[in-house]
Structure 1
Amino acid sequence: MSAPMPSDRSFQLLEVVPGRMDSSPAVSRRNWPDETKARILEEALAPDANVSAVARRYGMSPSQLFGWRRKAVAKGQVERLETPSEEHACSGGTVEIEIAGAMIRVGPTISEDHLRRVLRAVRSA
């Protein structure tokens, strides 16, 4: 709602000074040291990492960590590991699993999550 216009049609000059908005957090921005940021990113880039859980562990917003991760990957500073590391992979050959008349052959590089999805699909078919 606006104030009524003065009868002499003059204007008033208002000075507005920006201040902290009521809805903004009262804490100031944190300045993360590069070593800490690198350690947090390393955890978040692990193949089986839950980025939101990593962010909560360090008391930060998951969106901030997702942003760090996206920028680091875009700049080529880090790479996401999509395949399991050598220490997690089996040293043996192929494993054969027979379920409901279907033969499933599993190599040493398949992830546990992917194998679970395949087994569930075969069981439900």
Structure 2
Amino acid sequence: MSEDMNHGRTFEILTAEPVRKRRKPKLRSDEDKALILEQALAPGANVSAVARAHGMDPSQLFGWRRAALASGSVQRLKATENDKAFTRFEAVRTDTVEIQVGDTTLRVSASIDPVLLSGIVRAVRQA
């Protein structure tokens, strides 16, 4: 046993970067929370974008929104006739690409050489 302890040993030292500190939560007034929730509950609102605009994590705003809707203290705003409805569509793969340059529409093959296409677009712009 004493012979084992006299042999040279190799040690590996691991280094690591410190973990980033969590953001301190901001204490917001009830008026601020109501304003942020109003924006998040508006028709067509992007909750994550609203949260980032106010410097908060989107998960926190989703939680506020869920709690407010569950309590019945707020309701979602209904879309008015002036609001544009979102239309879902599926992209279709075709071999033809349409490019609008001014009042001219170019229809070219999707496999066109990029150098040739840029020359065509330059020629159309100059015409």
One-letter amino acid of the counterpart of residue 64, structure 2: W
Flag structure 1 segments of 5+ consecutive residues without an equivalent: 1-21, 90-110
Name the residue aligned to 1:38: 34
- Report the TM-score when normalising by structure 2: 0.50
Counterpart check, 1:55 vs 2:51? yes
2:63 aligned to 61, 67, 71, which one? 67
Measured against aligned partners, the alpha-carbon deviations of 1:7-48 in whole angstroms (never above 9, x if no partner) come to xxxxxxxxxxxxxxx5541x4332110000000000000110
User: Identity rate of aligned residues, in percent?
Assistant: 52
Name the residue aligned to 2:85: 112
Superposition misfits of 4+ residues, deviation over 3 angstroms: none
Counterpart check, 1:78 vs 2:51? no
| Secondary structure, aligned partner of 1:37 | helix
Structure possessing the higher relative contact order (Cα contacts under 8 Å, 6 or more residues apart): 1
- Cα separation, 2, equivalents of 1:29 and 1:49: 23
Flag structure 2 segments of 5+ consecutive residues without an equivalent: 1-18, 93-127
- Cα separation, 1, equivalents of 2:68 and 2:76: 10
- Cα separation, 2, equivalents of 1:52 and 1:80: 17
- Cα separation, 2, equivalents of 1:38 and 1:28: 21
- Report the TM-score when normalising by structure 1: 0.51
Measured after TM superposition, the shift of residue 80 of structure 1 is: 1.2
Number of residue equivalences: 74
| Secondary structure, aligned partner of 1:112 | coil
